Amino acid sequence: MPDTLLLIEDEALLGAELARHLEREGWEVVLARDLEQARNALLEEHLEPLVVLSDMSLPDGNALDLLDQVREHASPGEWIFLTGYGTVGDSVRALRLGAYDFLEKPCEQKRLDLVIGGAARSARAQRRLRDQASHEHRRYSVDAFVGGSEAASAVRQVMSRLVSVPFSALVIGGETGTGKGLAARILHHSGARAGGPLIEVNCAALPRELLESELFGHEAGAFTGARKRHRGLVEQADRGTLFLDEISEMELDLQSKLLKVIEDQSIRPLGGEREVRVDVQFVVASNRDLEERAREGAFRADLYHRLSVFGLRLPALRERPEDLDQLVPLFVAEYNAKAGKRVRTLAEEVWKALREYGWPGNVRELRNVIERCVLFSDGERFPAQWLQLPGSSGAPAAAGAGATGVTDEQLVLPLDGSLSLDDIEKYVIESALERSGGNITAAARLLGTTRQTLRYRVQKYGAGGR
Contact by Cβ (8 Å): 200, 184 = yes
Question: Which residue type, as a one-letter code, is found at position 326?
Answer: Q
Pick the CATH number of 4-135 from 3.50.50.60, 3.40.50.2300, 1.10.3210.10, 3.40.830.10: 3.40.50.2300
Count Cβ atoms below 10 Å from residue 343 Cβ, excluding itself. Answer: 22
Output the pLDDT for position 400.
41
Comparing 4-135 with 140-315, is the CATH topology the same?
yes
Per-residue pLDDT of the chain (466 residues; tens, 9 = 90+): 689 999 999 898 989 999 999 999 999 999 999 999 999 999 889 899 999 999 988 888 889 999 988 877 766 689 999 887 666 777 778 878 888 888 888 888 999 999 999 999 998 888 887 777 666 667 889 999 999 999 999 999 999 999 999 999 999 999 999 999 999 999 999 998 988 899 999 998 888 878 988 898 878 776 666 677 788 899 999 999 999 999 999 999 999 999 999 999 999 888 777 888 999 999 999 999 999 999 999 999 999 999 999 999 999 999 999 999 999 999 999 999 999 999 999 999 999 999 999 999 999 999 999 999 999 998 999 999 899 888 665 444 444 444 444 444 566 666 655 566 777 888 888 888 878 777 888 788 788 787 777 887 787 777 665 4
Angstrom CA distances, 282 to 237, 263, 363, 401, stand at 9, 11, 24, 39
Contact by Cβ (8 Å): 177, 315 = no
Output the pLDDT for position 447.
81
Q: Which residues partner with 412 through β-bridges? A: 405
Q: Which residues contact 411 (CB under 8 A, 6 or more apart)?
A: 396, 404, 405, 427, 428, 431
Mind giving me the DSSP string for 290-311? Answer: HHHHHHHTSS-HHHHHHHTTEE
Q: Which residues contact 369 (CB under 8 A, 6 or more apart)?
A: 387, 388, 389
* CATH 3.40.50.300 given to domain 140-315: yes
Long-range contacts of 83-87 (CB under 8 A, 24+ apart): 83/55, 83/56, 83/57, 85/57, 86/56
Angstrom CA distances, 107 to 84, 111, 248, 364, stand at 10, 7, 60, 61
3-class DSSP state of 78: strand
Listed by start position, the domains of the chain span: 4-135, 140-315, 319-461
Output the pLDDT for position 208.
83
Output the pLDDT for position 225.
67
pTM for the model: 0.65
Nearest Cα to 347, choosing from 292, 384, 385?
Answer: 384
Nearest Cα to 105, choosing from 79, 74, 81, 73?
Answer: 81
Nearest Cα to 236, choosing from 200, 274, 187, 290?
Answer: 200
Contact by Cβ (8 Å): 207, 254 = no
Output the pLDDT for position 218.
78
Angstrom CA distances, 79 to 13, 24, 354, stand at 22, 20, 58
CATH architecture of 319-461: Orthogonal Bundle (1.10)
Whether the bond into 106 is cis, omega within 30 of 0: yes
